[in-house]
Structure 1
Amino acid sequence: MKRAAVLLSVLLSLHFSALHAQRTKCLRITKKALDIGVYDYGKVKKSPYKVYYGKQAEDKFTEVLMKSERLMNSGKFGQYRTPNDFVTDDVVAYEYCPELNYVMTTGGHGFAFAYDLETLEEIFVNPSTFVYSPSGCYRFGTFDVDAGMEIYLEVKQGDKWVSHLRGVCPTMIEGVYWFDDQTIHYLGKKKRPSGASYWIGYSMKFSFEYEPEESIRP
C-alpha cells in the first residue's frame, strides 16, 4: 500500500507533523511575522459559549455528574459509592461547557483529559477554541498542555472532520482569526531579556500540494 511521506515543517520553534487524508497530497505551511498594524483585533470573535473554569467548573460538573448514573458508572471521573459517600480519587474538573457538552479534568498526576459527555470518548482538542474558515471547510483549534499548547487544523470531508495538522507550540498563542480560507492570523507570546512579555502578530498559510511521484514509496 502506498502512502505519502510526512512533511515536517518548523513553525513556532517546533516541528509540526502534516497528516494526509489523500495519499498523494501533503500539507505545506508557511509562517511569517506580520507588519505592525496588520493584525486586526476587530476580527477576533468572542466565544458564544458559556464555559466554566476552576472551582465553578468543578461545582457545575459535580451537580451534573451526581444526577447521571451513566457518567458515574463510566469510570472516567473517579470512583463513587453513594451520593452521600463521595470519592473522586483526585479527579477534578477544571473546565466545563454545558452547551458543547464536554469536560476537561486533571488526575492525581496532573495529566489533563477532555471528554465528550455525549459519547464519553476522550477528545484531543478543546471544542470551544474552534475557529472556522470563511467557507466552513476548515477549522483551527487548540488544547492547553504542560509543554505549551497543542494546535490542530481540521478539514471537513463529508460529514466528518479530519485532522491534517497536530503540533505542540511551546509558547502561548491567542486571538486566532481566519484572514482567508487558507490563512490564519494570530498573536504569539514572546519574552524580552528582562523577562517582560509581549505579543507579535503572525500569519500562517496552509496549502495542499501533490508530492512528486518519485517521492512516494511502498
Structure 2
Amino acid sequence: MTKGDVVTGAERSKLTIRASLTSGDGDMVATFECEPSSSEWLATGDVSRKDQGLVISRLEVRPGPNAAGGVTGGMVQKVPVGQILRHVRAELGPDSTPPATLLDADLVQRIREGGRVSLDDELLRAVAHRYWLYTGPGQPPGAVKRLAADFNRPEETIRTWVARARREGWLGPSVKGRAGAEPGYKLRHEFEIGFR
C-alpha cells in the first residue's frame, strides 16, 4: 500500500487514506484503508469503475483499538467516501497538477484566435484532458470557467463540448451532484500509450 493523503473530517480529526491499485480484467481498480487519528474505526474496501465512474463496491468498517464498543451508525457516517474516491482517482491517472504548458497548447491557441471549430477528436481530447485535470483532487471549483478562459469561448459552449466529449468516450458519464468526471475509454487509452 502507498501512503495516502491526510484530510480533515467532520470532527476535524485527521484521516489517513492508503490505496493500492489492482491490475486485472475486472471492474475493481483499487483497494483502500482509511483510519482516523483517533483510531476509533478502520474502513477497508474496494473501488471499482462502473458506468457512472469510480464507486466504492465493497466497504467494511471495523471498530478500532480506541473504540468503546462495536460499529455504530456514527462511525459509518464518518467514512469519507468522497475523499477516498478522489484519492484513488489521483492514484489512477497521471499527476493531477496541471503542468505549466499542456501538450495541446498550440491547438488551444489556434482555437482562441480562430472562429468556429469542428468538434473533432483532437479538440475533444484536449477538452476532456483539461476538464479532467481541472476537476482533479485539490483543484479549485470552476473548471468550466477555466476552460472557457483557455479556449476563449462562452461557458455554455464549453458545457456543450464537455457533453460531447462524454458522448464520444473521452470522458466518463456524469454523476448527478458530483463535479468532475472519470476519463472515458478513449482518454484512458491515451494515458496508457502516452499523449502523442
Q: Bigger relative contact order, structure 1 or 2, given CA contacts below 8 A and separation 6+?
A: 1
Q: TM-score, normalised by structure 1?
A: 0.21
- The TM-score with structure 2 as length reference comes to 0.23
**Higher Cα Rg: structure 1 or 2?**
1
More helix by share: 2
Higher strand share: 1
